[in-house]
């Protein structure tokens, strides 16, 4: 990879942290961003479909950012920037309509290439039933070398990471904020463990704080990284099910844990089962599904 181009890409993403499909608009006639700093505000506004005042501020910020030694700063903070050209960048993310242009990674970035990944997600208000379900299902998955992907949110996400770690498996946390603003605070210790021993990633530069709209965007990466998605507990209208929508859009397998018919948090999984998700209560049901797919190929 051309280091000069990467510096320009990091500078652009730092001041305009948008997905690759948005940044590619600037690369149509300038694939290495060589002429970006020379474009007028009017040109930038037209290409990016933004206001001219915003384009002027973007141009100034970009020119200042070009002087920032990103590689050195990220290395100092143990952050590995994984651009869309990096050998660790997962091919499956390029199947998204809006792939991340850069993933910022802390920990073992090579885990991005782990061949078998399963997303395990659920409600932020998950009950102990989610942990019980994970304790019943994940051991066989870990034994079959599945890596567990989740979003490090409160509730089911944290349970998924903790269960994978407890079972001696691997895990990836996909975060909805930059590394200078870990979220949520309640999971700070778990986040530190994942950064040190496993892998934490985000598409947001380190300075970016958590915001409501970050998390639906984060969900597409959770789905995009994974072969399938397992849902424990969720309400029918929730962020959890937005991840499922991404999964279905990209032909991913969806598994759902049946629950207590009296619990509102069972409504989401039951709705998914009604719509065609596979009901599961033991890990072998998932591993057998992938054995059959492999045999068919």
Residue 185 CB-half CA count within 13 A: 0
The verdict on residue 243 lying in a domain is yes
Cβ neighbours around 180 below 10 Å, total: 12
The verdict on residue 102 lying in a domain is no
Residue 76 has a pLDDT of 96
Pair 166, 260 in one domain: yes
Residue 296 has a pLDDT of 52
Pair 156, 9 in one domain: no
The verdict on residue 99 lying in a domain is no
Q: Are 105 and 201 in contact (CB under 8 A)?
A: yes
Per the DSSP assignment, residues forming a β-bridge with 202 are 104
Give me the CATH number covering residue 269.
3.40.50.450
Pair 281, 216 in one domain: yes
The verdict on residue 237 lying in a domain is yes
Q: Indicate the Cα dihedral angle 97, 98, 100, 101, nearest 10°.
A: 100
The verdict on residue 203 lying in a domain is yes
Residue numbers of the domain that contains 236: 109-296
CA distance 220 to 174: 10
Residue where a domain terminates, one of 68, 99, 118: 68
Residue 214 has a pLDDT of 85
Pair 128, 262 in one domain: yes
Residue where a domain terminates, one of 41, 68, 95: 68
For the stretch 70-100, what's the b/e string if a residue is b when 16 or more beta carbons lie within 10 angstroms of its beta carbon? Answer: beeebeeeebbbbbbebeebbebbeebeebb
CA distance 228 to 248: 10
CA distance 69 to 66: 8
Pair 57, 127 in one domain: no
Alpha helical stretches, state H, 33-187: 41-48, 52-65, 70-76, 128-143, 156-166
Pair 64, 203 in one domain: no
Number of separate domains in the chain: 2
The verdict on residue 97 lying in a domain is no
Residue where a domain terminates, one of 68, 84, 100: 68
The verdict on residue 27 lying in a domain is yes
Pair 208, 134 in one domain: yes
Per-residue pLDDT of the chain (297 residues; tens, 9 = 90+): 699 999 999 999 999 999 999 999 999 989 999 999 999 999 999 999 999 999 999 999 999 999 999 999 999 999 999 999 999 999 999 999 999 999 999 999 999 999 999 999 999 999 999 999 999 999 999 999 999 999 999 999 999 999 999 999 999 999 999 999 999 999 999 999 999 999 999 999 999 998 888 888 899 999 999 999 999 999 988 777 778 888 887 888 999 999 999 999 999 999 999 999 999 999 999 999 887 655 554
Pair 19, 148 in one domain: no
Pair 147, 234 in one domain: yes
Residue 297 has a pLDDT of 46
Residue 240 has a pLDDT of 77
Pair 64, 113 in one domain: no
């Amino acid at each position: 990879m051309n280091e000069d181009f990467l510096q320009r890409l990091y500078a652009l993403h730092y001041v305009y942290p948008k997905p690759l499909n948005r940044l590619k608009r600037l690369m149509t006639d300038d694939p290495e961003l060589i002429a970006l700093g020379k474009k007028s505000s009017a040109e930038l506004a037209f290409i990016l479909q933004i206001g001219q005042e915003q384009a002027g501020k973007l141009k100034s910020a970009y020119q200042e950012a070009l002087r920032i030694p990103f590689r050195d700063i990220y290395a100092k903070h143990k952050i590995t920037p994984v651009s869309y050209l990096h050998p660790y960048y997962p091919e499956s993310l390029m199947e998204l309509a809006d792939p991340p242009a850069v993933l910022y990674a802390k920990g073992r970035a090579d885990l991005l290439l782990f061949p078998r990944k399963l997303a395990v997600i659920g409600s932020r208000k998950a009950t102990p039933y989610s942990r019980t379900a994970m304790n019943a299902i994940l051991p066989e998955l870990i034994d079959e070398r599945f890596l567990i992907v989740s979003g490090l949110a409160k509730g089911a996400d944290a349970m998924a990471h903790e269960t994978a770690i407890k079972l001696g498996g691997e895990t990836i946390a996909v975060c909805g904020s930059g590394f200078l603003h870990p979220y949520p605070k309640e999971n700070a210790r778990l986040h530190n463990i994942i950064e040190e021993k496993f892998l934490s990633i985000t598409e947001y530069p380190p300075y970016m704080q958590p915001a409501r709209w970050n998390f639906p965007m984060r969900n597409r990466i959770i789905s995009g990284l994974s072969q399938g998605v397992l849902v424990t507990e969720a309400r029918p209208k929730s962020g959890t099910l937005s991840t499922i929508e991404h999964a279905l859009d990209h032909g991913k397998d969806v598994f759902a844990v049946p629950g207590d018919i009296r619990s509102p948090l069972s409504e989401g999984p039951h709705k998914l089962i009604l719509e065609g998700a596979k009901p599961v209560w033991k890990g072998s049901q998932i591993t057998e599904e992938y054995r059959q797919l492999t045999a068919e190929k």
